[in-house]
Amino acid sequence: MNDQDTKRRRTDRPEKKTGRAKRADALKAPKKLKLLFTVVDRKKAELYADLIGAYGVNLQIVLPGEGTAKTETLRLLGLDDTARAVIVSVIRDDLAPAIFEMLEEKFRTVRGGKGIAWSVPMTSAVGVAIYQFLSDYRDDPAKANERGNRR
Amino acid sequence: MTFSHECIVCIVNTGFSDAVMDAAREFGARGGTVIHGRGTASQEAERFFGISIQPDKELVLILVPRDLTDPILYALYRAVGLKTPGQGIAFSLPVDQVVGLSTLSLGENGEPKSGDVAP
């Protein structure tokens, strides 16, 4: 056995990883984040915020907004109920399809719950703790399973 | 990466959101959402340039097909741009997925699964 063989064997052997190294590995390929905008009737804002929140979304901001009335006639007649809420949520990219599917279904089925939702990709976030908070990254697999069952 | 829709954000002085929507509708936008906000501007810059910035703002969000973005942004620049009383700025954000547009459902990357395109 020559020196090269010994070297190769040494490098082939998997390194034993400490808990900290494992955590660092998990953070090597972070999940991308998106900003989800959901515009719904103001009365339904809480419902939709809760529905989105069930997907491990830790930061949501509900802003009161107004829809733009379709016609001047409707506005003059007072038939334009324009009170809307804009829900801004930070969601994980891999959960986006499930969230959009849920929203599409709810927009169709909830009475008076019609709305519109779109997402904008986020390109950066500063700070590991902030990222972990926004992406709902947790070490404890039991908690992750619990969240999975809730969904 | 290009997507089928974009979100136009237009920030104007309070009371000018109707002017924003009128300008946007002319080029095919269907509707928007207005959020009230408070602008912050550098007071030193205000003094230097001899202008005053009204702090109360309206932020108008309009979701439009990508091909309408440029004409609408240009219309906003002319109707409520910084040199008008609306003192508005407008920009667009890429939208990678969307649901809830009337009569159509969109899939990944905002491509329609079927039928027409109407925001």
A61 touches chain B (CB under 8 A): no
Note whether A32 and A96 are within 8 A (CB).
Answer: no
Say how far apart CA A96 and CA B111 lie, in whole Å: 15
Q: What is the CATH number of domain B5-110?
A: 3.30.70.120
B5 touches chain A (CB under 8 A): yes
Q: Which domains does chain A have, with CATH numbers?
A: 30-150 (3.30.70.120)
A-chain residues within 8 Å CB-CB of B101? 116
- Nearest CB partner across the interface for B33, out of A65, A104, A107: A65
Note whether B9 and B60 are within 8 A (CB).
Answer: yes
Q: Helix (H) and strand (E) counts for chain A?
A: 7, 4
Q: Is the pLDDT of residue B80 over 90?
A: yes
CA proximity to B53, closest of B63, B66, B40 = B40
pLDDT, tens digit, 9 for 90 and up, residues B28-43: 998 899 999 987 777 7
pLDDT, tens digit, 9 for 90 and up, residues A22-65: 666 555 567 899 999 999 999 999 999 999 999 989 999 999 99
Say how far apart CA A4 and CA A11 lie, in whole Å: 11
CA proximity to A40, closest of A63, A72, A60 = A63
Note whether A37 and A84 are within 8 A (CB).
Answer: no
Instruction: Give pLDDT, residue B47.
Output: 78
Best of B2, B7, B33, B61 to substitute, by most chain A Cβ atoms within 10 angstroms, is B33
CB spacing of A118 vs B63 below 8 angstroms: yes
Task: Report the predicted TM-score, pTM, of the whole model to 2 decimal places.
Answer: 0.75
- Nearest CB partner across the interface for A120, out of B36, B95, B99: B95
B-chain residues within 8 Å CB-CB of A64? 35-36
CB spacing of A115 vs B100 below 8 angstroms: yes
Exposed / middle / buried, residue A53 (Cβ in 10 Å: 0-12, 13-18, 19+): middle
pLDDT, tens digit, 9 for 90 and up, residues B61-72: 999 999 999 999
CB spacing of A65 vs B34 below 8 angstroms: yes
Instruction: Give pLDDT, residue A143.
Output: 59
**Residue-range domain boundaries for chain B:** 5-110
The tokens for A75 are 């506005």
pLDDT, tens digit, 9 for 90 and up, residues A67-92: 986 666 666 776 677 899 999 999 99
Residues 36-65, chain B: which have Cβ within 8 Å of A? 36, 60-61, 63
CB spacing of B105 vs A104 below 8 angstroms: yes
Exposed / middle / buried, residue B38 (Cβ in 10 Å: 0-12, 13-18, 19+): exposed
Query: ipTM of this predicted complex?
Result: 0.76
Say how far apart CA A115 and CA A124 lie, in whole Å: 28
